[in-house]
Amino acid sequence: MADTANQPVVSQLGSDLALKLSFAAAVAVLPFLALRLYNWIIYATTASKYPLVNPKWDEPTKKKFTHSIRDLLTKGATMSKGGPYRLNDMSTQRIMLPAKYIEEIKNHNGLDFHAYVAKEFFASYPGFDAFSTSVNQTIFQDAVRTQLTQALALTIGPMAKEAPNTLTKVFGDSTEWKEVVFVPSALRAISRLITLIFLGESFMDNQEWQRISIMYTVDAFIAAKKLNTFPAILRPIVHWFLPECSKIRDEIKLCREIITPEVERRLAEIKKNGGKPRRKVLDSIDWFVASAKGQPFDYPNAELSLAMASIHTTNNTFSFAFFDLLENPQYVQPLREEIIQVFKDVGKWDKSTLFKLRFMDSFLKESMRYHPHSAFHLPRMATKTFTLSDGSVIPKDAYVSVGPTLMHDSSVWPNALTFDPYRFLKLRNAPGNENKYQFVTTSCESTVFGHGHHSCPGRFFASNEIKLLLAHMVMYYDWKLPEGQDKVQHTTNGTSHSPNSRQAVLLRRRTPEVDFEAAHEEE
């Protein structure tokens, strides 16, 4: 009876406590909300001064954004008279800067690429872990910029030795013409060679790792795109219920199951060996260990981040170039002749061999200029409000990008809409230009690899792999487009431009004029 009599009192006390806690929570969050509101007002007030190219976000506008993004960028640059303008895209509104601003913003301390990636791809959400590894940890950046760069020369031999075997696995060895769908086939070859260098030979044939290292990137982009369709305030909750986000959480879990045992084995081996790896040829696990210097580090996510940053971007660049070659078969023989001559002169695959493939280098750079992967470059987030030299104000938290770029600008590149594989070879032959127009060189006029502090640190490795693979493919196989086809229709979807992933090609095995494999036997 006593307990029953006290229930109203207890209930009232509970209600009072709940009310006080709710009030306290509301008071605690008010400063945060006030700051967010203040920042939004500053952003809206500042950004609204710039013309908005596509104010409506209706179906016709979405269609134009999806299929005619370059027209929108040109329109924006015209509306703004060469100054900043605004563009609505699928997920946000960004401030666009014409290419004249590149030199000023490339190293600006108020603009951050990693902050952009973290915000755009939800780096703090479970499942998007691979984005947070590359964004938040300087260990990852040091491993790629320092350890990988120092190991570049050591990666060429193993890739060259493996290339014939990988090509046979992917494309076969039949001397009769046969048809394959090129982009996914090339993706397998590129993924195998990248895996060889980053994780070692045993992982090349690990089908689970090959699948996840290729598909996580695709699935994460799909999940981010889906999540961006929801209001920002709902995303921290909604992501738990989206199948797309659940899928990448499962992939992260599987990644840990695959990579963790190998990392533990390596760390035990290093500890037993007095802090040094026993193996002569080091890979990315060793690079991360060296950069971590004993600090805690998420090795599985780092490996997935490496795969995400390297496999698809390399394959897109390579596939565009290869399709350019099939559309222009008159350049196959000049490529072969250069490869034969250089390899006979050097006698093996090393950095000097690749450096001397000057026509190939020019061909690849022209292909990259001709097929920029994105309609705008140098994506950044403003980490503070700052003023550009012409008085234009960039507000804190703004998404900032450069567009239109100069890749197709005829005032920079004569006959810019014509594919000329000798373009950069001619430019390099001019006095003082030897290093300026190489495939890996960035500039205000060539920004596919970025430019400045945030230019792609892995581009030197990617260049080596692409050149090795292209050399082996033109020497070991004949290639052509299907009968009656002389052009490949590529895919443009919003800001992205991708090689046609359904395009079939014909190939047959041939006998190379030089024996690459014999050179490895002599080593």
Report the residue count for the chain: 523
| Cα–Cα dist 163/410, whole Å | 38
Eight-class DSSP state of 374: B
Which residues contact residue 499 at a Cβ distance below 8 angstroms, ignoring those fewer than 6 apart?
183, 316, 319, 320, 323, 371, 488, 490, 491
Q: Which two tokens stand for residue 104?
A: 């000023």
Which among 166, 207, 214 has a CA at the least distance from the CA of 187? 214
- Distance, CA of 421 to chain centre: 24
Whether 310 and 213 have beta carbons less than 8 Å apart is answered as: no
CA separation, residue 246 to residues 120, 238, 239, 384 (Å): 18, 11, 8, 34
- List of long-range contacts for 234-237, beta carbons under 8 Å, 24+ apart: 235/122, 235/125, 236/125
CA neighbours closer than 13 Å in the CB half-sphere of residue 282: 19
Helix (H) or strand (E) holding 287: helix 284-292
The reply to whether 456 sits in an annotated binding site is: yes
Which helix (H) or strand (E) element contains residue 479? strand 477-480
Q: How far is CA 41 from CA 38, 119, 325, in A?
A: 5, 19, 52
Rounded Cα–Cα distance for residues 172 and 167 (Å): 7
The two tokens of residue 411 are 């005032």
d(C-alpha 382, C-alpha 370), whole Å: 30
How is residue 382 written in tokens? Answer: 């403003």
Which of 152, 474, 437, 140 is closest to 308 using CA atoms?
140
Helices (H), 137-273: 138-142, 149-171, 182-199, 201-204, 207-227, 235-238, 243-272
What's the rounded Cα separation, in Å, for the pair 308 and 214?
Answer: 8
| Those residues with Cβ within 8 angstroms of residue 521's Cβ, 6 or more apart along the chain or in another chain | none
DSSP assignments along 397-455, one per residue: T-EEEE-S-STT-TTTSTTTTS--TTHHHHHHHSTT-TTTTSTT---SS--TT--GGGS
Question: What are the tokens at 514?
Answer: 């030089």
CB 459: neighbour CB atoms within 10 A? Answer: 19
Q: Are 50 and 80 in contact (CB under 8 A)?
A: yes
List, as residue ranges, the binding site.
456
List, as residue ranges, the binding site for heme.
456
